[in-house]
Amino acid sequence: MSKLPLVGTTIFTVMSKLANENGAINLSQGFPNFPVDEKLTSILKAISGEAIHQYLPMAGYEPLMEKIANTIFTSYHRNINIASELLITAGATQGIFTTIQAFVSFEQEVIILDPSYDCYAPAVVLAGGKPIHISLNDDFSIDWGKIENAFSSKTAMIIINNPHNPSGTVLSLKDIEQLEFLLEKFPKVLLLSDEVYEYITFEEKHISANTRNKLKDKTIIVSSFGKTFHITGWKIGYLVAPSHLMIEIKKVHQFLVFCVNSVAQVALSKYMDLVDVQKLGEFYQDKRDLFRNLMKSSKFDLLKSEGSYFQVASYDSISKESDLDFTKRLVIEHKVATIPMSVFNVDNKDKHLIRFCYAKDDETLIKAAEKLCKI
């Protein structure tokens, strides 16, 4: 019997495959198509002959952990203890799965805000828990009253994603305060804060749980080098959590992966001396602005994109098809692959919205917009 009867192949795999089969420009799955920084590839070449190919300590390579702690201090003025509050993970996905395994027990509930990233709910189900999906408002803002009503004595955790995939929004100070208020009212509930796009913000920086004294003691924060250094295929990231929670997380981690890829950890520990993560927002803001400008003459109605590398758009004035049908037709007839937003809702609610990924070189964005403006 399947433990995940409702799960099929992810939309990212489906759409990327469809893009390849149809020779389409792929703005669907979220990954950069431009070359990785030469400084990083040079480091990789230089270190490959060194003695870096065996197991590392379970929680991570210390020099890398030190660099991460420095970056967290620079970004958020939070001092973390690398021995007890930091864990290197095989991508954010493993960090999320490990955290959920560590803290969600049989029949406990986890609050998930829809549209939601696809790996949360299956991890809850595999832990024996129950995902409780609450829909965001039409503009992707949060109805905190609705969230509070969903809390119960069974609630173990709430997952937030800030900046948000797929909507590209960031939470306001008011949202964070509401969250703090709610978690004070339900002191046993943990917060899993997925901040993988933490350095990809534009006019307003996102408010990290790292900066909130009221949250630190109950929050596990997820980061991903895949997003921050344009290396999604490396599958490496990290978790920050207070030591009393990290003890439990490490118990799962040591039997799930034990330790993460040694070559990647050593390379990144050296690379972190050479890059400034604070510049990433500017880099993607240029891409966002280019794409939005190019799309001005199209019939798509672009919503705001405050963070992440995603742009959501309504195609209501082009077609009344379902978003699944529309995105399929877009790949086959117009040669541009995108993601239908309904797949991020547990009830598949379709609001005629699609998601573009603009983590692409300028030429790709120009060519894609040219095609999209003809529709």
Binding mask 26-45 for ligand GLN (x = CB under 6 A): ---xx---------------
Closest approach of ligand GLN to the CB of residue 34, in Å: 16
Task: Give the nearer residue to ligand GLN in terms of CB position, either 12 or 186.
Answer: 12
**Under the criterion CB under 6 A, does residue 12 sit at the interface with ligand GLN?**
yes
Closest approach of ligand GLN to the CB of residue 52, in Å: 27
Asked if residues 15 and 343 have their Cβ atoms less than 8 Å apart, the reply is no
Nearest residue to ligand GLN by CB is 30
CA distance 44 to 41: 5
Task: Give the nearer residue to ligand GLN in terms of CB position, either 82 or 368.
Answer: 368
Residues 336-375 that bind ligand GLN (CB under 6 A): none
> Could you tell me the CA-to-CA distances from 351 to 25, 119, 137, 340 in Å, in that order?
24, 22, 12, 10
**Under the criterion CB under 6 A, does residue 155 sit at the interface with ligand GLN?**
no
Starting from the edge strand earliest in sequence, which strands make up the sheet with 155-161, in order?
Answer: 86-89, 237-240, 219-224, 190-194, 155-161, 109-114, 130-135
Among 98, 165, 261, 305, binds ligand GLN (CB under 6 A): 165
> Which amino acid belongs to residue 92?
A
> Which amino acid belongs to residue 368?
A
- The DSSP code for 259 is S
Task: Give the nearer residue to ligand GLN in terms of CB position, either 52 or 119.
Answer: 119
**Under the criterion CB under 6 A, does residue 161 sit at the interface with ligand GLN?**
no
Closest approach of ligand GLN to the CB of residue 318, in Å: 23
> How many residues sit close enough to ligand GLN to count as binding (CB under 6 A)?
5
Closest CA to 266 of 47, 13, 41, 42: 47
Task: Give the nearer residue to ligand GLN in terms of CB position, either 98 or 165.
Answer: 165
CA distance 221 to 313: 29
* Cα separation of the two ends of the chain: 45
Closest approach of ligand GLN to the CB of residue 308, in Å: 9
Residues in the chain: 375
**Contacts to ligand GLN by CB under 6 A:** 10, 12, 29-30, 165
